[in-house]
């Protein structure tokens, strides 16, 4: 009997420690950075958005009606992302969730990118998509799958991932993300389209290519489909 009490006590202590650790951790960031200021009067941004008086909330604060409208895929990458995050639905503030609709032209793609603050689950509604993600260093394992309507795939938070329309017809997907403001970093745009430009010396050594290749890539217009 004494041993059972011992194990119960240990279990309770372990649970209590877990709860304390969870509540002691910092909240997840909802923007790229948040520089501290000593005077609250100088503070403009918070981790998220300021909250409306609940008595002033209305149904429109929780509503969006644009998901039936196809996005314009007439661009270099052949895709268009329609976001539904806290910028479109103010009522999402603090709720830790958002969505996107992605339209793909035939052979269009959502280029390799990451969401620094969210895991994503994507469901294909129309067409056929080749999707995948790459794990972190040093393995850099590639996980891929061809998805058909009604099938879903998960992209873990922060990992580089992509979708490519392998069909001759348009494709449509809906995705849920685990942040009200997931953020997006499109790899090519960030590396070769940064402002100001990353030094060519850095990129030639990193990619082990001639400077002419780097100059060419930096001179391109990197379409911000996200």
For 22-63, write each residue's pLDDT tens digit.
445 556 777 776 665 666 565 566 677 878 888 888 999 999
Question: According to the model, what pLDDT value does residue 17 have?
Answer: 44
CA distance 30 to 23: 18
CA distance 52 to 96: 17
Tokens 């997840």 label which residue? 28
Q: Is 23 annotated as a binding residue?
A: no
Question: According to the model, what pLDDT value does residue 30 have?
Answer: 73
Enumerate the domain spans of the chain: 24-183, 186-225
CATH topology of domain 24-183: Jelly Rolls (2.60.120)
User: For the whole model, what pTM was predicted?
Assistant: 0.83
The DSSP result for 14-30, as a single string, is: HHHHHHHHHHHSPPPPS
Question: According to the model, what pLDDT value does residue 93 have?
Answer: 86
For 142-185, write each residue's pLDDT tens digit.
999 999 999 999 999 999 999 999 999 999 999 999 999 999 99
For 194-219, write each residue's pLDDT tens digit.
999 999 999 999 999 999 999 999 99
In degrees, to the nearest 5, what angle opens at C-alpha 193 toward C-alphas 188 and 198?
Answer: 105
Closest CA to 47 of 66, 64, 26, 69: 26
Residues in contact with 50: Cβ distance below 8 Å, sequence separation at least 6, in sequence order: none
CA-to-CA separations, 5 to 10, 11, 13, 19, in angstroms, rounded: 9, 10, 12, 21
CA distance 161 to 156: 9
CA distance 66 to 69: 6
Closest CA to 103 of 74, 130, 71: 71
Q: Is 110 annotated as a binding residue?
A: yes
Q: Is 93 annotated as a binding residue?
A: no
Q: Is 115 annotated as a binding residue?
A: yes
Q: Is 113 annotated as a binding residue?
A: yes
């Amino acid at each position: 009997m004494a041993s059972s009490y011992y194990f119960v006590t240990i279990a309770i202590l372990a649970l209590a420690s877990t709860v304390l650790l969870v509540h002691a951790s910092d909240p997840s960031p909802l923007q790229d950075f948040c520089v501290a200021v000593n005077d609250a009067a100088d503070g403009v941004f918070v981790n998220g958005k300021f909250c409306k008086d609940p008595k002033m909330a209305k149904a429109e604060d929780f509503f969006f009606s644009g998901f039936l409208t196809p996005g314009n895929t007439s661009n270099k990458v052949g895709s268009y992302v329609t976001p539904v995050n806290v910028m479109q639905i103010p009522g999402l503030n603090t709720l830790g969730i958002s969505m996107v609709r992605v339209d793909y032209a035939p052979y269009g793609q959502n280029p390799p990118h990451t969401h620094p603050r969210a895991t994503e689950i994507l469901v294909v509604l129309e067409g056929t998509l080749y999707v995948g993600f790459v794990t972190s260093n040093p393995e850099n394992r590639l996980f891929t799958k061809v998805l058909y309507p009604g099938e879903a795939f998960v992209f873990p938070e922060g990992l580089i991932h992509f979708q490519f329309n392998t069909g001759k017809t348009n494709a449509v997907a809906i995705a849920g993300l685990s942040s009200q403001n997931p953020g997006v970093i499109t790899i090519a745009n960030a590396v070769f389209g940064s402002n100001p430009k990353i030094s060519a010396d850095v990129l030639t050594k990193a990619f082990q290519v001639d400077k002419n290749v780097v100059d060419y890539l930096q001179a391109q217009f990197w379409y911000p489909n996200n």
